[in-house]
Amino acid sequence: MDKKEIARTLEEIGTLLELKGENPFKTRAYHNAARTLEGLSDDLGLLVKEERLTEIPGVGVALAEKITELFKTGKLKYLENLKKEFPPGLPGLLCIPGLGPKKVKILFDRMEIHSLGELEYACKENRLLDLKGFGAKTQENILKGIEYTRKHQGSFRFDQAYETAEWILKAVQKMPGVLRASVGGSLRRRKEIIHDIDIVASARSGVEKIMDRFTRLSGVEEVLAKGETKSSLRIATGIQVDFRVVSDAEYPAALLYFTGNKEHNTAMRGLAKTQGLKLNEYGLFRGEKRIPLKSEEEIFEALGLAYIPPEIREAEGEIEWARKGKIPDLIEEKDIQGVFHAHSTYSDGTATIETMASAAQKLGFKYLGLSDHSQSAAYAGGLSPAKLKKQWAEIDELNRSLKGIKILKGIESDILADGSLDYPDEILKRFDFVIASIHSRFQMNEEAMTRRLIKALENPYTTMLGHKTGRLILGREGYALNVDKIIETAAKRKKIIEINASPHRLDMDWRYLKKARDKGVKFSINPDAHSPEGLKDTFYGVGIARKGWLIPADVINTMPLSQIESFLAKESPLS
């Protein structure tokens, strides 16, 4: 088992122990260790071999033994026994907002409810009302939660699907006879939620054998369909993979067809028709004769279009722009010069400032905008003024000794209920930048929440607005707010809006980026990193920025260090 799988397993143990009603500090120890492990940059195999696991903070003798057993055997007796105590569906109930371990346990102990279906039925029968601690409101909220969970079944976050798609694609590319292969569909368009994985390949011959190999890939749970050119299967994580094999001459058109959204494809076919051509998944045809084209680029060219990057094939005007040759040069990962929004062990990050800085440097960044949590965020170890002073001294020291990377002093300040920031002005003015974010009091109505955010944006010390809606993809709806007013205020006050690059957030949503940009808003692509590994999430943010048609000039962290420093100084209320 690798680091990630072990982290997931520890997470599972923590959850089961919560259901069991174990000491909350014990369950937290498992969750903490899982998080630390996931962000661990050391070679786990080496730590196991040298019996140095207990050097990892939060890992003691007991956890070290379990991690070792998992690493060596892929199994854990302790977990297997634990699992026997509960029906398999029970932990799934914890996905419902408002249902925690205590309530789930009551539902199971008193009513033997251990699946969504049973729970829904019991709610509809009003049977939850008799349970201690439950009432009409709870029942109503559970029903709403079930509906939400149902709506998103068969959905996966981009990063989950991407990881799976990458290894399947690699396996396909290695199969004998395969000439070209690519991921298609919504994954290639970098959508934040994915329903299935599309893989398109071309082959010279031996398609039958390729299909055989495909359906026998490791991790396949069920073969849903297997034909001469198309197969579908479901893999263990639950995601469906559709695989299409065509001839190499057909490949460009097939890839095009399996990438664009439906409306984009319809529009492309319509355009071809106006030119006396026919476009389908097998090629571009004049009459019955296929026009020989080697790539997607050549198809666009043959239709008189500039190349349209996959991310924007969403039927949002891109074909019109391509006809005019005006498709912008979208931002790329290599354009990013540095990143803001990173946490360290000062608050809830897993690594020291120094470790984070050298990890950032290894990724090619020239600056790291450190932003731990502010004092109100007790749940995340928010920084008291005294702790801040210590942190600033440490950063000054590191900036003297580190070469090639500069650490910028920032904070992720909670936006309090009344819209004010979390420190007095004399502290706020000492930061290089301030990210203002909401972490509590989500339930305000739209008007109050909008007012709260506007007040935060009007604060002269605010540099940028963090994760604008607080949504968690497939986990929680964002809070109610008036997007237009927020965009307007940000533009007027020259405040940056964060594109939170965590694959759990991807907030602000790409659908609003173009609009905000046109109003004059600038953005920052922020990894919201809680570990060195987390810095790489910048990749997901770039994808979302591309979906929003952004170019490097729209994104402040494409500026080199000297420029960003004078930019931050200029935006500061002190200047």
Partner DNA sequence: GCCGTTTTCGGCCCGACTGTTTTCAGTCG
Q: How far apart are CA 473 and CA 506, in angstroms?
A: 8
Give whichever of 84 and 137 is closer to DNA, judged by the CB atom: 137
User: 25: burial class by Cβ within 10 Å (0-12, 13-18, 19+)?
Assistant: exposed
Helix, strand or coil, per DSSP, at residue 12? helix
Give whichever of 71 and 257 is closer to DNA, judged by the CB atom: 71
Report, in Å, the least distance between residue 555 CB and DNA. Answer: 26
| Residue 215 Cα distances to 156, 361, 430, angstroms | 21, 42, 59
Report, in Å, the least distance between residue 131 CB and DNA. Answer: 8
Amino acid at 101: P
**SS3 per-residue string spanning 56-91:** CCCCCHHHHHHHHHHHHHCCCHHHHHHHCCCCCCHH
Give residue for tokens 């205020």.
489
Report, in Å, the least distance between residue 446 CB and DNA. Answer: 14
Give whichever of 202 and 502 is closer to DNA, judged by the CB atom: 502
Report, in Å, the least distance between residue 211 CB and DNA. Answer: 44
Give whichever of 192 and 414 is closer to DNA, judged by the CB atom: 414
Report, in Å, the least distance between residue 100 CB and DNA. Answer: 2
Report, in Å, the least distance between residue 75 CB and DNA. Answer: 16
Burial 524-548 (b: 16+ CB within 10 A, else e): bbbbbbbbbbbbebbbbbbbbbbbb
Q: How far apart are CA 238 and CA 157, in angstroms?
A: 12
Give whichever of 61 and 574 is closer to DNA, judged by the CB atom: 61
Report, in Å, the least distance between residue 82 CB and DNA. Answer: 9
Give whichever of 133 and 287 is closer to DNA, judged by the CB atom: 133
Q: How far apart are CA 66 and CA 53, in angstroms?
A: 11
Give the pair of three-digit tokens for residue 257: 């067809």
Give whichever of 97 and 328 is closer to DNA, judged by the CB atom: 97
Task: Judge whether 330 and 311 are in contact, CB under 8 Å.
Answer: yes
Report, in Å, the least distance between residue 326 CB and DNA. Answer: 42
Task: Judge whether 183 and 199 are in contact, CB under 8 Å.
Answer: yes
Give whichever of 61 and 386 is closer to DNA, judged by the CB atom: 61
Report, in Å, the least distance between residue 28 CB and DNA. Answer: 7
Give whichever of 380 and 496 is closer to DNA, judged by the CB atom: 380
Report, in Å, the least distance between residue 89 CB and DNA. Answer: 16
Q: How far apart are CA 71 and CA 48, in angstroms?
A: 8
Give whichever of 237 and 440 is closer to DNA, judged by the CB atom: 440
Task: Judge whether 90 and 104 are in contact, CB under 8 Å.
Answer: yes
Report, in Å, the least distance between residue 142 CB and DNA. Answer: 9
Report, in Å, the least distance between residue 110 CB and DNA. Answer: 12
Q: What single-letter DSSP state applies at residue 435?
A: E
Report, in Å, the least distance between residue 26 CB and DNA. Answer: 4
Amino acid at 51: E
Q: How far apart are CA 69 and CA 9, in angstroms?
A: 12
Give whichever of 101 and 309 is closer to DNA, judged by the CB atom: 101
Q: What's the CA dihedral at 15, 21, 24, 29 to 10 degrees?
A: -40
Give whichever of 67 and 486 is closer to DNA, judged by the CB atom: 67
Contacts of 66 (CB under 8 A, 6+ apart): 10, 13, 76, 78
Q: How far apart are CA 556 and CA 292, in angstroms?
A: 43
User: 184: burial class by Cβ within 10 Å (0-12, 13-18, 19+)?
Assistant: buried
Give whichever of 121 and 379 is closer to DNA, judged by the CB atom: 379
Q: How far apart are CA 524 and CA 412, in angstroms?
A: 14
Q: How far apart are CA 310 and CA 294, in angstroms?
A: 17
DSSP β-bridge partners for residue 407: 368
Q: Which residues bind DNA (CB under 7 A)?
A: 23, 25-26, 28-30, 33, 54, 57-64, 78, 97-104, 132-139, 141, 378-379, 381, 417, 439-443, 472, 476
Q: What single-letter DSSP state applies at residue 382?
A: P
